Chains A and B, each alone.
Chain A
Amino acid sequence: MTETTNLAAKVLLLEHDAKQYQCLMDFCERMGLMAMPRSAPDALATLSQHKDLGGVMLAEDLPLEGMDSLALACSIHKLRPELPIFLRRTSNQPLSEEQEIAIRHPWTTGDLAQLQSCVERSIFSLRYPTELVNGVVELTCSAMRSMFPHATVKAESPYVVHDRIIFGQVSTLIPLESTWCRGYMMLQTEEGALRQGLMQGMGYEGVGGDLNFRELNHLLGETTNLIWGAFKNRYIPPKAFANQQSQVPIVINHEHKYISFGSQDPQLCVRYQLSDPRRPGLPPLTIVQRLIFNLHWSPEEFAVFADASSGSSAATGELELF
């Protein structure tokens, strides 16, 4: 069996009972959870500051003004539905339907085995082989050192997140496909910090021009490309190459509402207007569609395909019996 790494995860801990607090802190340490204890009134503000959480633990009887713990749990769920919530039950009162949806992991006070099972099932639902985790960190550090030759690169301990909020303004995306995985890798960073690092001279001299946001995007894109290449060379066996297509990183800058697929070619764009026929005076909802054929585009081959299929389209919504 493959050895897997015991990764960490950050959890927001809302607990007012001193005895339970200590018990949960010990539990977190044992489970590899990095507990972030906060008072209940600070819970929502803490959520907005930390975008890399693995879950939230809270007691049912937190002292709160104007709301109770269950309402707080529902508010947390509304803000970050991807975060599993572990509620320490202090009453036998049944949860409402809305509360049950928000609080996926209620557990009975004192039953740490139950809590452990919930944590393992939700926060640590995927196990990552040690060799893979260490290898990814190593090849990423190496790629970063080559792109930022004058910086000291250190990796913190790897951990798992359930949050889907993106860190910073600049991010990249590239598919990872092998015989054993299909997915994506992202790099996420803050535009200002990246610019500052380059101004301080972490990168290559003279590279990056005036460090406008496009230059910064390119730099993160190339770093992504280097990591992707090293990942492929190490973890994608030759037999997977038959289906391998070339890839380029997709670069997104949220601050500037910018996305690049690496090609300068024009993209096919269609705008759709959805209006309410009962309220013709209201402005319509606009949905924009773009088609980007950045990796391969052959209208000639399309013409051959279109001729062969001669305009027939698959019936939709109909049952086809074999």
Chain B
Amino acid sequence: MAHVLVVDDSNTMREIVAGFLSKNGFEVAVATDGRDGLVQLNKDPGIRLVVSDINMPNMDGLTMAEKIRTELCNKDVRIVMLTTEDNPAMRTRAKAIGINGWIVKPFRGDAVLGPFRKLCGMG
């Protein structure tokens, strides 16, 4: 079972995204902000995909992704931003960091299920 970490400060979004992924065969962990995301990822090396919001208290999603690539030296985990942001400069920064994908909210499960499966190597 592919292991996904959902990082969002909104309880509601965590429930929507994690609920959808769980129903569709993913094992899901959750984190409440970027700082918590790093802790969860460190605890569980089995995580294959991180789906993260950007605007969060304590640590935003882009900073978290940057730390995953640089401080944790984790180049393998796939990172997708799920955000209200559609800012070209942020996308450019995301690409430079090594983020694998970008979804502008609202979340539409049917639109991401296939790509998420591929990113997790589920065929």
Contacts and interface: CB of A to CB of B under 8 A. Distances in A.
User: A interface, how many residues as a size bin?
Assistant: 35 or more
A238 B12 CA distance: 29
Contact of A233 (B12, B16, B60, B85): B85
Contacts of A294: 57-58
B100 interface: no
A206 B32 CA distance: 19
Q: How large is the interface on B (under 10, 10 to 19, 20 to 34, 35 or more residues)?
A: 20 to 34
Contacts of A228: 84
B15 A263 contact: no
B114 interface: no
B10 interface: yes
Contacts of A248: 9, 55-57
Interface stretch (B40-48, B66-74, B86-94, B115-123): B86-94
**Which has the most chain B C-beta neighbours within 10 Å: A221, A222, A263, A295?**
A222
Contacts of A229: 83-86, 104-105
A284 B32 CA distance: 40
A131 interface: no
Contacts of A226: 84, 105-106
A246 interface: yes
Interface in B1-41: 9-13, 15-16, 19, 32-33
For the complex of A and B, 10 pairs with smallest distance between CB atoms: A229-B84, A146-B106, A263-B57, A218-B11, A233-B86, A222-B12, A246-B55, A222-B10, A294-B57, A207-B15
14 contacts: A143-B106, A146-B107, A147-B12, A215-B11, A222-B12, A225-B10, A225-B55, A226-B84, A228-B84, A232-B84, A233-B104, A248-B56, A261-B57, A263-B9
Interface of B: 9-13, 15-16, 19, 32-33, 54-58, 60, 83-89, 104-108
